[in-house]
């Protein structure tokens, strides 16, 4: 099983080599693998069911990531298999279900093949599948699913640094989702029209992410919250807010127990996060406490 994630800082900028902070959260996705006697692959989840002959593996909806992982391993699979995916969170929340399913599938298949449990090998194999299916992907979400905890992440040169294993965090779902590749495309187009301004925005995000990594290590939540508020401004500049997200951000900030709040993830949907502990949870019924998952993918 592998945990979901929430991006704390640096989303989008991370696709341009900047630092991001990401946290694994205690919401788990489980993949069960059962070897089959027949040469077939069966996949089943809340998204549907699919059966393919073992020699005809290719990514297809709604199981593109899983099928890509199996197709890349086709030559080494000893026979047919059934995979069942069950998740404590739906794919629409922006909690990184794609990364969690990739991390858990790769770990399950490697265990079946008798390969050692090696987080960096799981990360590399799962990231290749994400990039093959999606074209782009920083790997930040996947780092959280594989390693757990609160991490500082840079895609190139790859660096994954653990910062903390706890953090007071709440998340509120905005009620909608835009597909991440579509939002990434929109931001890239904005960057083409306004290269100097968007470049400077990423640079600002990098600076606040670097300060945030220090604040996180020191457990300085007031400082980290302030930096999250700064980055909310930058997410607004990138066109990633909508009325529902902006309203949730400001509702969270009204609570005296919240140090800062911002959109989390690609934007234009998914979740808003708040750093801190709500003093008046009744005023914010949409917000859920999100404990940090101190470790990542595991065999159970």
Task: Say how far apart CA 183 and CA 198 lie, in whole Å.
Answer: 15
- The single residue among 21, 41, 122, 184 that binds ligand MEV, judged by CB under 6 A, is 184
Smallest gap from residue 21 Cβ to ligand MEV (A): 12
**How would you classify the pairing of strands 81-87 and 40-45?**
parallel
Active-site position among 141, 220, 255, 270: 141
- The single residue among 1, 12, 16, 110 that binds ligand MEV, judged by CB under 6 A, is 12
Smallest gap from residue 279 Cβ to ligand MEV (A): 29
| Residues in region 206-225 near ligand MEV by CB under 6 A | none
Smallest gap from residue 117 Cβ to ligand MEV (A): 25
Interface size with ligand MEV, residues (CB under 6 A):
13
- Is 141 catalytic? The answer is yes
Cβ-proximal residues to 35 (8 Å cutoff; 6+ apart), any chain: 78, 79, 80, 81, 112
Angle at which helix 180-193 crosses helix 195-218, to 10 degrees, equals 120
Phi, psi angles (nearest 5°) of residue 60: -155, 150
Tell me whether residue 23 or residue 106 sits nearer to ligand MEV (CB atom).
23
Q: Does 168 bind ligand MEV (CB under 6 A)?
A: no
Residue pair 96/2 in contact by the 8 Å Cβ criterion = no
Residue pair 20/13 in contact by the 8 Å Cβ criterion = yes
Tell me whether residue 135 or residue 162 sits nearer to ligand MEV (CB atom).
135
| Residues in region 106-165 near ligand MEV by CB under 6 A | 137-138, 140-141
Smallest gap from residue 293 Cβ to ligand MEV (A): 16
Return the range that interacts with ligand MEV (CB under 6 A); candidates 5-13, 55-63, 70-78, 116-124.
Answer: 5-13
Q: Does 11 bind ligand MEV (CB under 6 A)?
A: yes
Task: Say how far apart CA 260 and CA 237 lie, in whole Å.
Answer: 18
Return the range that interacts with ligand MEV (CB under 6 A); candidates 8-16, 31-39, 53-61, 69-77.
Answer: 8-16
Task: Say how far apart CA 255 and CA 208 lie, in whole Å.
Answer: 23
Task: Say how far apart CA 88 and CA 29 lie, in whole Å.
Answer: 6
Tell me whether residue 139 or residue 168 sits nearer to ligand MEV (CB atom).
139
**Six-digit token string for 39:** 């040469």
3-class SS letters over 62-99: CCHHHHHHHHHCHHHCCCCEEEEEEECCCCCCCCCHHH
Smallest gap from residue 199 Cβ to ligand MEV (A): 16
Q: Which residues bind ligand MEV (CB under 6 A)?
A: 7, 11-12, 14-15, 137-138, 140-141, 180, 184, 265-266
Q: Active-site positions?
A: 141
């Amino acid at each position: 099983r592998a945990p979901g994630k929430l991006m704390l800082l640096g989303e989008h900028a991370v696709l341009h080599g900047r630092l991001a902070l990401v946290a694994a959260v205690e919401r788990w996705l489980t993949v069960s693998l059962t070897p089959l006697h027949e040469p077939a692959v069966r996949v089943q989840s809340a998204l549907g069911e699919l059966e393919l002959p073992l020699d005809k593996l290719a990514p297809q909806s709604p199981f593109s990531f899983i099928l890509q992982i199996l197709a890349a391993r086709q030559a080494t699979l000893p026979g047919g298999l059934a995979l069942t995916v069950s998740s404590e969170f739906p794919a629409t929340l922006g909690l990184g279900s794609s990364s969690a399913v990739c991390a858990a599938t790769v770990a399950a298949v490697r265990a079946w093949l008798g390969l050692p449990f090696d987080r960096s090998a799981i990360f590399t194999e799962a990231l290749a599948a994400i990039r093959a299916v999606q074209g782009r992907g920083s790997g930040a979400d996947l780092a959280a699913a594989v390693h757990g905890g609160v991490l500082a992440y840079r895609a190139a040169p790859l660096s994954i640094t653990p910062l903390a294993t706890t953090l007071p965090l709440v998340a509120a779902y905005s009620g909608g989702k835009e597909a991440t590749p579509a939002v990434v495309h929109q931001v890239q187009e904005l960057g083409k029209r306004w290269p100097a301004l968007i470049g400077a925005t990423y640079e600002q995000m990098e600076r606040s992410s670097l300060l945030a990594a220090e604040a996180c290590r020191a457990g300085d939540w007031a400082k980290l919250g302030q930096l999250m508020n700064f980055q909310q401004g930058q997410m607004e500049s990138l066109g990633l807010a909508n009325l529902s997200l902006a309203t949730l951000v400001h509702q969270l900030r009204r609570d005296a127990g919240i140090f800062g709040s911002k959109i989390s993830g690609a934007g234009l949907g998914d979740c808003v996060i708040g750093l801190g502990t709500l003093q008046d949870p009744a005023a914010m019924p949409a917000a859920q406490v999100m404990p940090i998952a101190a470790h990542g993918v595991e065999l159970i």
